[in-house]
Amino acid sequence: MSSTDKSNMRTPLSKVRGLGSAKDGTSHFWRTRLTALANIPLALFFIYFIASVAGKSYEDALAFIGNPFVAVTLLLFIISGVYHMKLGMQMIIEDYVSGEKSKILSLMLNVFFASAVGLACVFSIFKISFGA
Amino acid sequence: MAPKKTQRPLSPHLSVYKFPLTMMLSMIHRITGAALYFGTALLVWWLIALASGGEAFATVTWFMGTPIGLLIMVGYTWALFHHMVGGIKHFLWDFGKAFELDTVELVAKLATAIPIILTILVWAVGLGMA
């Protein structure tokens, strides 16, 4: 990989930057791992949450989410989880959707879906927590 | 694109392979990921209903209590456990560990069994409390 190697088309600057042709280097890989690690304890809590609220009455469910510890942990799971699932679905789309138009459309829909899910959950938890 | 299709030998495709457990797990990791992705719509429904009022919440609670609702919740729990254990396996591989063939097989068996056991445990306790 010396600079005299004529078969290598990459400039010294591009090698130093290490961002590759997609221009974002290892950020997708890294963020997937970062959110995955965060999701381990958070998802375990979420499973505890599901099992606890299953069959609870309206008042009991409200009171459960009204607990700040429950609300904040649930919010963390939603933020980390929604980001992780956006990254994952992006990878699935990039792997299987080959048409340029349908690929870009799917990638956009992925961002819209993840954003809507994230915001709807966060808004609902805020509304329940602040008791409006 | 060439106008005429030339008959060329194809490389051996999926159908000629035995399905090893590791390959199944790789596919299931992706499938559970996609299922969890769309499953979040249920969490949104549940949270929005809870934030909206008692009537909306009663509808969701009714649905979650039906056999289909329960199946979805148990399935979602299993998918989450499976994807999580699969993710931990990927962390091992990221650190260059557990690549020996017998270790790979052992880890694959554990990654199949542990999520099932955890799901049964959670719902045995969860439904026991309810």
**What integer pLDDT is reported at residue A1 of this predicted model?**
47
Q: Give B30's contacts (C-beta < 8 A, 6+ positions apart).
A: A92
- Average pLDDT on B71-99 reads 95
Continuous segment of H or E residues that includes residue B35 = helix B21-52
- Is A1 among the domain residues? no
Q: What are phi and psi of A65, to 5 degrees?
A: -75, -25
Rounded CA gap, B31 and A92, in Å? 10
* Res. B85: pLDDT tops 60: yes
Containing domain of residue A54, as a range?
A: 23-130
In CATH, what number is assigned to the domain containing residue A70?
A: 1.20.1300.10
Confidence band of B3 (pLDDT split at 50, 70, 90): low
C-alpha closest to that of A117 among B115, B36, B16: B36
Query: Domains plus CATH for chain B?
Result: 21-129 (1.20.1300.10)
C-alpha closest to that of A56 among B8, B54, B18: B54
Residue B34 and residue A89: Cβ atoms within 8 Å?
yes
* Res. B122: pLDDT tops 70: yes
Structural domains of chain A, count: 1
What is the residue type of B106?
L
**What integer pLDDT is reported at residue A101 of this predicted model?**
97
**What integer pLDDT is reported at residue B127 of this predicted model?**
72
- Is A7 among the domain residues? no
SS3 state at A3: coil
Confidence band of B125 (pLDDT split at 50, 70, 90): confident
Supply B126's token pair. 């969860």
Residue A58 and residue B57: Cβ atoms within 8 Å?
yes
- Is A6 among the domain residues? no
Chain A positions with Cβ closer than 8 Å to B: 33, 36-37, 39-40, 43-44, 46-47, 50-52, 54-55, 58, 61-62, 65, 81-82, 85, 88-89, 92, 116-117, 120-121, 123-125, 127-128
* Res. B130: pLDDT tops 80: no
Burial environment of residue B52 by CB neighbours within 10 A (0 to 12, 13 to 18, 19 or more): middle
Of residues A50, A116, A117, nearest to B77 (C-beta): A50
Residue ranges of chain A with per-residue pLDDT less than 50? 1
- Is A62 among the domain residues? yes
